Structure 1
Amino acid sequence: MMVLLAAAALGAPAARAAEPPLKLVALGDSLTAGYRLPADAAFPAVLERALKAKGRAVEIANAGVSGDTTTGGLDRLDWSVPDGTDGVILELGANDMLRGTDPAVARKALETIVARLKERGIPVLLAGMLAAPNLGTDYRARFDAIYPDLAKAHGLVLYPFFLEGVTGNRAHTMEDGLHPNAKGVETVVAGILPTVETFLDRLKPRGNGGR
């Protein structure tokens, strides 16, 4: 009897440890893909390691495509976010802004992505972007409002500015002054980590039979 009880006691933590990890997809552009960085230094990989170091069981798929726009992300949404995904970190809009695309276009595409994921029961963490100063005050006001507006309208977890602590810091960017280097990615992850943990606390694993 004592052996059986001991086995049962030992088995309980093991069973908890064997629970399936939350499956996230990071849907984004080069900032997610890890432009000119090794795969293990890209944002999804670094974030996954940081979360695991805090005892979080997660797997984060890198669905970043360099040069992608919000409409590009919408076009590939269904195959970029497979069934069984527990949550999506949505990081798109920087390329729309750099091209001077009408903010209404980016807003509509992002809202459609959020709505389609909501229809599939997949929660979204929205990673915000800010317009460059040289685009003018009107453009900046219209573009910068996209992310808080969508987060409020759809009840999303919002990280206001994905490149917080990186933009303008040459030690954290590549030669182009735009893309994070390895140190910059670590800065991004350190900044967004508490928000991601808040997001994870809202999620429930779907498991293999979730859909």
Structure 2
Amino acid sequence: MVISVPKPAFPDVPNALGVPAMIRNPVAVAETEASVIAGDLIETLILDQHGPWGIYDKTGKKIAASQYFLGLDFSKEYRVSDAPMEQGAFQSYNKVETPFLARVTLACDGTGFFGFGGSSAFGFGSTAGETRQAFLAAIAAAVSSTDVFSIVTPDATYVNSNLVHYDYTRTHRQGVSLLAVTVGFQEIRTGAIRRFAHPQTPDGAETTNTGLVQAQTPTSAQAAPASTAGVN
């Protein structure tokens, strides 16, 4: 007895490097891509629900209106100074705190999926492209500025940091629907300068830089102390 085995219309072979071109089910490919995109968006939504995330300026505004947080890499370092001693020994004599460094990954899908406005559920169309362009323009403007920002997470808030770097990757497989940008921050420390408006003696006044000045012949009153001391 001959048993006929049904042949599938489309092969169940992954579309990977080295696999020859085959006729594939276009519906299955679309479902896979949609599933990956939806999974990324759902994971981000869950991340947002666990607490406040974001980068804010001194007025409490987000660095980019269409941003949402994907991840944070934070590093803090102290440096200890040391000097060589006799017989191969060394002596440590100072410990200095260095500015913290942070790398934050932000994303923009250019849609209204998270309430930011857009054109479609998966970030395609002219409106989505314009939103991503505005997102990149806002980050580029922040990098070139001297403003300080606060990195807010559910665990801690890192204040007084300046945006010093950003990078992103856009290929035919990455960044088409969800544009992820990594931005780098460095801590900025400001210190107060003590000034005395009315010192008791002229020697207590601070040196003031008035720019370039022309040399002038001293007056008799200015030259008298030098002549008295024997300097001609």
TM (norm. structure 2) is 0.21
Question: Rg bigger for which structure?
Answer: 2
Structure with higher strand content: 2
Structure with higher helix content: 1
Structure scoring higher RCO (CA < 8 A, sep ≥ 6) equals 1
